[in-house]
């Protein structure tokens, strides 16, 4: 009954319409590069790899060459034994009798399995080929100051954090450092970053310098969940078969289905407005340099002449951090498989363990004082120090703990940006 109640969350309201500006002429496609990453593993996170493989085809269909697209994904979904369509992945439902579009077909993955790490991602972005010798395909960005770069990251997140497999995370400070290195080394003319994760706005809020020619949009603001979609009922079926996991993420499928359907004249700002209106469960945000958002999306996502119906509202969405555990529950109820049961038990245990830990940490630091709500202003160095201590002493950020990265932000505000008492509380809580 608890999981059913997740679908009753009240939708967020949106407003604002961007002004239309005549787009500039699109560059040749050999000036385009793309980095696409799904930072999760496990069948409960089916949607992330589905999103990224769909994004790959958006780039290919748009004219970007495969040599200039770099994909990171664990690659454990298509041939997962719980997949009712072995060797295939779908990002959109279809009714019985209608085959779905297999986005896994032709999706070339450069870094998979244990190679999907924050370190690999940073090296790909900064063009550090020497650091990836013998790792995956070894491909890194070879872009120059004349080139445009598109980055799409899809996974779980928390305040100041984006997730990777096995509890690994990348902190906002580390991501901004990689982007700063790219800027310093003149690795792009303009860069667009689309980020799908809970509290994804916190990765850029107040820390992305608008002088670096980087435009970023995020699935949510700095203190709310993003949402999975195509999660239940007929919306989670392909050709009449239940996938038993969300097929996509709401923000991600909205921008990709829009890109699949648009004429060449849509600008980045127009796409942002469209996606913001369609993503009615969270606040889609934009950050950084908005001076070039009058350019067409084809400058970054490829150029397409494909015409299709405009995307429709998705009615079977779930908060992203609940989608994985909901998938485990659906799979267990449908199949009784041990794997699904283990995923469900682990998910509940992770949540309860994190709840206990952060209750203890908060009590030790705040001593009964009620903490104000996270105000979006991140004490970056304090938060980074607390994050590093949590990783060192608590074993990393699992999906149950990630929401509590907001608690670290609140505690840093409480201490005026001083991490020492927080670090000590983390040591004590995780030693217990």
DSSP letter for each residue of 271-285: HHHHHHHH-TTS--E
Per-residue pLDDT of 92-111, as tens digits, reads 999 999 999 999 999 999 99
CB 68 within 8 A of CB 32: yes
Which residues have C-beta within 8 Å of that of residue 227, sequence separation ≥ 6? 219, 249, 250, 251, 279, 281, 282, 317, 318, 319, 320, 323
The more confident residue out of 272 and 262 is: 272
Mean predicted confidence (pLDDT) in 312-326: 70
pLDDT of residue 303: 53
* pTM value > 0.85: no
**3-state SS class at 71:** strand
Per-residue pLDDT of 208-251, as tens digits, reads 999 999 999 999 999 999 999 999 999 999 999 999 999 999 99
How many CB atoms are closer than 10 A to CB 386? 27
Domains and CATH numbers, the chain: 14-321 (3.40.50.1460), 350-431 (no CATH)
Query: pLDDT-derived band of residue 116, with 50, 70 and 90 as boundaries?
Result: very high
- 214 forms beta bridges with 191
Query: pLDDT-derived band of residue 26, with 50, 70 and 90 as boundaries?
Result: very low
To the nearest whole percent, how much of the chain has pLDDT over 70? 89
Per-residue pLDDT of 331-375, as tens digits, reads 877 788 888 888 888 888 888 988 999 989 999 999 878 887 777
How many CB atoms are closer than 10 A to CB 169? 24
- 362 forms beta bridges with none
Per-residue pLDDT of 371-405, as tens digits, reads 877 777 789 999 999 999 999 999 888 888 888 98
138 φ/ψ sector (left φ>0, alpha ψ -120 to 50, else beta): left
Residue with tokens 């105000």: 375
Among all residues, which ones are annotated catalytic?
Answer: 156, 198
Which contacts qualify for 123-131: CB closer than 8 Å, 24 or more apart?
A: 124/35, 124/70, 124/72, 125/35, 125/151, 125/178, 125/179, 125/181, 125/182, 126/178, 126/181, 126/182, 126/185, 126/187, 127/182, 127/185, 127/187
């Amino acid at each position: 009954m608890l999981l059913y109640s997740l679908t009753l969350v009240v939708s967020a309201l949106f407003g604002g319409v961007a002004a239309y500006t005549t787009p500039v002429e699109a560059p040749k496609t050999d000036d385009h590069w793309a980095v696409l990453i799904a930072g999760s593993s496990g069948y409960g996170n089916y949607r992330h790899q589905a999103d990224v493989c769909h994004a790959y085809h958006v780039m290919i269909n748009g004219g970007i060459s495969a040599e200039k697209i770099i994909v990171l994904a664990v690659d454990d979904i298509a041939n997962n034994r719980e997949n009712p369509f072995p060797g295939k992945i779908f990002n959109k439902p279809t009714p019985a009798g209608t085959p779905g579009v297999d986005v896994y077909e032709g999706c070339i993955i450069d870094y998979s399995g244990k190679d999907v790490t924050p370190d690999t991602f940073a090296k790909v972005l900064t063009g550090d080929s020497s650091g990836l010798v013998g790792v995956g395909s070894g491909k890194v960005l070879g872009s120059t100051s004349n080139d445009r770069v598109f980055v799409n990251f899809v996974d779980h997140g928390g305040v100041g954090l984006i997730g990777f497999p096995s509890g690994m995370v990348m902190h906002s400070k580390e991501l901004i450092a990689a982007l700063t290195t790219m800027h310093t080394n003149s690795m792009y003319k303009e860069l667009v970053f689309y980020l799908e994760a809970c509290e994804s706005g916190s990765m850029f809020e107040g820390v992305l310098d608008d002088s670096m020619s980087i435009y970023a949009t995020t699935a949510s603001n700095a203190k709310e969940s993003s949402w999975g979609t195509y999660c239940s009922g007929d919306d989670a079926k392909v050709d009449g078969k239940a996938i038993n996991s969300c097929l996509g993420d709401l923000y991600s499928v909205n921008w990709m289905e829009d890109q699949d359907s648009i004429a060449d004249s849509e600008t980045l700002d127009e796409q942002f407005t469209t996606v913001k209106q369609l993503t009615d469960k969270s606040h889609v945000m934009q950050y950084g340099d908005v001076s070039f958002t009058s350019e067409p999306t084809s400058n970054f996502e490829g150029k397409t002449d494909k015409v299709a119906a405009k995307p429709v509202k998705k009615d079977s969405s779930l908060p992203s951090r609940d989608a994985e555990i909901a998938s485990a529950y659906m799979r267990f109820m449908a199949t009784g498989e041990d794997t699904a049961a283990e995923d469900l038990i682990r998910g509940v245990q992770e949540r309860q363990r994190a709840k206990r830990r952060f209750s203890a940490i908060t009590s030790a630091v705040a001593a009964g004082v009620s903490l104000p709500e996270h105000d979006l202003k991140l004490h970056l160095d304090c938060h980074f120090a607390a994050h590093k201590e949590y990783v060192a002493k608590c074993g990393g950020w699992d999906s149950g703990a990630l929401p509590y990265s907001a608690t670290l932000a609140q505690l840093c505000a409480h201490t005026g940006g001083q991490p020492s008492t927080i670090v000590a509380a983390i040591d004590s809580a995780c030693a217990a």
